[in-house]
Amino acid sequence: VRLANRLRTGLGLPASNSAIVSANVPDAEPKLARAGIRASVRAGRTRLACHIYTTDRDIDDALNALATA
């Protein structure tokens, strides 16, 4: 949950007790795909799940990918 909350902070979302992060980020799916990051889109929101093997670098990569134009 620590990494999910780190991701939420980077996306401007409040902390939660879930390892799943859902956010409305325009064009998130293709941005993440270009960075080699798998995510799903449900009801127009991008869904990212942090697992036991997720690292701080993975979170950095996701935030950097989402910040690209």
Length of the chain: 69
DSSP string, 29-46: HHHHHHTT---EEETTEE
pLDDT tens digit sequence for 48-59: 999 999 999 999
- Contacts of residue 55, defined as CB under 8 A and 6 or more positions apart, other chains included, come to 3
pLDDT in tens, 14-48: 999 999 999 999 999 999 999 999 999 888 899 99
- The whole-model pTM stands at 0.91
Q: pLDDT confidence of 69, banded at 50, 70, 90?
A: low
